Amino acid sequence: MKAKNFDQQFDDAVDITAYLDASKAKRVLQTQKRVNVDFPTWMVDSLDREARKLGVTRQSVIKVWLAERLEATAAKVPVA
């Protein structure tokens, strides 16, 4: 299929997934890099309480909170 036809089908909300090779898909800026961080016990306990309250993992809480802070910092928005 030519790019022009592909674009037109996409614009017309036609399902184009049959034309895509998902095995080669990449998430831009989403590659993982492992880091080790030491937290005081009280902080880990607080993170665990929050994770249980939200029904997610400790790692998810940390990732979301860090992402929110970084986005706010990038936008120069005051963080509570």
- Residue-wise pLDDT tens digits, 4-62: 999 999 999 999 988 888 888 888 888 888 999 999 999 999 999 999 999 999 999 99
* pLDDT value of position 27: 80
In this model, does residue 77 exceed pLDDT 70?
A: no
Output the six-digit token pair for 24.
């080669």
In whole angstroms, give the CA distance from residue 7 to residue 9: 5
* pLDDT value of position 80: 65
In whole angstroms, give the CA distance from residue 34 to residue 43: 20
Please say whether the beta carbons of 62 and 70 come within 8 A. Answer: no
Tell me the pTM.
Answer: 0.60
3 state DSSP class of 26 = coil
